[in-house]
Chains A and B, each alone.
Chain A
């Protein structure tokens, strides 16, 4: 079973920040939070990951709560091309293989 829960869908106005929440209340101390997105008919694309500190890259920012039980992916200026399904996943970041389970994700619709 997936270890994360996400809202099934969200809308965001073009140019505004998109804030996508994820709950992972059973996360273990050695598990990272990963975010992927899947644009229609394509393979999932890695966005960002983090352990406990907030992270930022050229695509997005990841805010992880202090207790690590939830996180938020922020797309600072959403564009129409950001319309996709966003998946939040928890997994270990080292020490060998761990099966990655995808939940149902959040379908983000960016509106003109």
Chain B
């Protein structure tokens, strides 16, 4: 029962470098999300997907891109990392239904120097 798996768990980047965060879920969920968590800010939605091949912007999408080529995977990319993107990133998934809770991965701690 893996649930939602995020890789990597930790990463340090230099300003201007690029990277991709991978999220994989084995629950056959339709919806997937990327959030970032910063101290005192709660969780803020970056991008989300309501199905394979679809993506949409959330509250704080600038500087990030996403892709959902397969239903079980949701990738978050940083093309040119900035120190402001230092954060903890959470991937989540859920099934259809307004009552369905989000199932979260364990997070990726990213530091941009």
A binds B: no
